[in-house]
Structure 1
């Protein structure tokens, strides 16, 4: 079948016009009188996705040197504002975030107002038991690691640390410590690991909205994981509500229930916490106190086996300042400046969360792992001006609600383990500590 040239030209023009109109309909128009923000031009439909490649944090840093601290890129059909300065506030309104905690997650909410602040405040109560919970779990890890070394001569510490950290946050939030082979505890750990894997894979529908209406296996798994975990938390909160005694506050959940009841009695209160919001706050606290700490401990051990001389300095400081007669406590932090400096450098240098570490503008030799950068000249005190530049937990009103719990847990776990154990990598093996966008918890035997 042959067509006249004029018909082919007409078809081509029609296809071109339709394509142009579709692309134009997805692009947000710039209001009259305003200029487009500086930034690289993207390709139709996919934007700058190809330029970001496998290390988007490095690519965006290079772009910011060309276009400035405030620039615009295009991911799919969605314009994305990239800030390279120090003002971190709010969250992007992404499609995926609407399915975390039924869209009411404190961590992933775009809200920064009174409700957000009211929901942050109760977190400070019930933390007095943290030291006791961490101490029990660290003792278990020491015993387990010694047993594994005696029987197998080598092991992957992460698989045991992740369960201990989960147990601490369960004790803090639910007032319950599980046996390490308890199926409910292991299901919580597995749920969290699955959630991390699915979330890390990204969701194209966040940036190409039309994909929200198409079948998406990853998004289906993402929604299912959130529903399963929220269902588990609803059961726990319901049990707490039934057995609640205002004169016997057992954990953070009890503290939140009391806060909720007090606000209901106070009719003049502007902000009240509902039962569902209690579930959402516990959900956020669990996430902040679980994955954050396991990631930090995993990185810490990788640095310690990579730099054994640093491990020896920490152990020497522990021996001199605390000895072996008692376990380290939170009150010892000021007495252990080198240990504190190591933890700060671990947070600064590692791939903790994407885009939270402004390496290049703030640090001399940012790629070098050097705890001494956080010590004053005499080496007996942490330089607070330098330590405040470490923004792993964010800053300002929207910084991580679990920052205190996270920092305290890492300090206690690390010091108790290093007081009694020495870690080294297996002969002939190397640990990859190259910073990247996400931390993959691959098996690393020691």
Structure 2
């Protein structure tokens, strides 16, 4: 369709009008990226020069943690980069991070308003939600209390607590599985078995249910978590170039879908727990949350109604919080033990001499196993769980 001249006026086609608007918006974004306003009294932070629209994305490459490490050596422990059109403050070094996240933790406890975060837990996630005020603190306290209550709950059939019992049972199964695999294959990748075992423990903690390792429901949860991790790790361009929010995206559609599926799964379990809830028999973290809500219909700090949906969001956060980190910790531990068999031997000797082989180690044995504890702490210090934390605001 072409423009038609009528006297001295020209009528533009709809496609030409849309193109003109798009170019105008693009021009505004470019101009804004070049004219970043710095508040009076503050100076420009050090950092690499950013390109219009894409910022410093090209410099981050495939391994952004390595690229940022090199940049920090040039620009210092506090620098600014741009991802898309968003300015991002990058902190490096132990003392700098402690200052921000520990000493000034309240100042930096919020989350940025990234586009994708609104689809995690319907935007009400403790981990990804932007709210860090009184409502958030009240919900965090509720989650902590429920976790502590469950961790201290005694197992009616043994002298150990429920949490330790779940971990012990899964550890027995995992050791047996590793022995079978060694007999059959002589070598194997332990990760796929670790991740299912960790998922099983978290399911037992959150939902009071331990699955068979071939159970499709358990495997679907593991797959959901893997999909979420892959989507989060790859990043969503619309988070950093806002205009892309209005364009169709297969990645974003898949991200929304997997969050909806997981929320629906947890909601069903929470509803089932309500129908079978027994105040005298707290089976898991979901029961602990329901118990707290039954005792206090209104939260004493924020005066907010503790609804089923909030329980779903808290359970979802607790489920996701321990999944990747625990699996990664176990993977690093196994790698170090295989790499340094002499350390493995010393740990085994300490356990044999202190506890013997008549029973399994318990958490209460921690103070009598200094070498084993030292190995675990050193593993946490020396290994790398994640190159980045979730962005703070």
Offset of 1:227 from its aligned partner?
A: 0.7
Aligned residues: 345
Output the CA distance in 1 between the equivalents of 2:331 and 2:134: 36
Q: 1:127 aligns with which of 125, 128, 151?
A: 151
Output the CA distance in 2 between the equivalents of 1:64 and 1:279: 40
Offset of 1:182 from its aligned partner?
A: 1.4
Offset of 1:48 from its aligned partner?
A: 1.2
Output the CA distance in 2 between the equivalents of 1:62 and 1:148: 42
SS of the residue aligned with 1:79? strand
Output the CA distance in 2 between the equivalents of 1:18 and 1:106: 35
Q: 1:155 aligns with which of 170, 188, 201?
A: 188
Output the CA distance in 1 between the equivalents of 2:283 and 2:303: 27
Which blocks of at least 5 consecutive residues in structure 2 are unaligned? 1-22, 102-107, 153-161
User: In the alignment, is the contact (CA less than 8 A) between 1:263 and 1:271 conserved in 2?
Assistant: no
Offset of 1:64 from its aligned partner?
A: 3.0
User: In the alignment, is the contact (CA less than 8 A) between 1:76 and 1:208 conserved in 2?
Assistant: yes
Q: 2:117 aligns with which of 97, 115, 119?
A: 97
SS of the residue aligned with 2:297? helix
- 1:24-76 CA-partner distances (Å, limit 9, x unpaired): 13564334554332222111211111222233223323333433333211111
Output the CA distance in 1 between the equivalents of 2:30 and 2:302: 49
Output the CA distance in 1 between the equivalents of 2:328 and 2:268: 28
Output the CA distance in 2 between the equivalents of 1:272 and 1:303: 47
Which blocks of at least 5 consecutive residues in structure 1 are unaligned? 1-15, 357-392, 399-446
Give the TM-score normalised by structure 2: 0.81
SS of the residue aligned with 2:316? helix
Q: 1:341 aligns with which of 367, 374, 380?
A: 374
Output the CA distance in 2 between the equivalents of 1:18 and 1:239: 50
Which protein, 1 or 2, shows the higher relative CO under an 8 Å CA cutoff with sep ≥ 6?
Answer: 1
SS of the residue aligned with 2:82? strand
SS of the residue aligned with 1:154? coil
Over 3 Å counting, the alpha-carbon distance change for 1:79 and 1:269 in structure 2 is: closer
Equivalent in the alignment of 1:73: 81
Output the CA distance in 2 between the equivalents of 1:330 and 1:210: 52
User: In the alignment, is the contact (CA less than 8 A) between 2:125 and 2:317 conserved in 1?
Assistant: yes
User: In the alignment, is the contact (CA less than 8 A) between 1:263 and 1:272 conserved in 2?
Assistant: no
Output the CA distance in 2 between the equivalents of 1:92 and 1:266: 26
Q: 1:234 aligns with which of 260, 267, 276?
A: 267
SS of the residue aligned with 1:126? helix
Equivalent in the alignment of 2:135: 115
SS of the residue aligned with 2:321? helix
Equivalent in the alignment of 1:243: 276
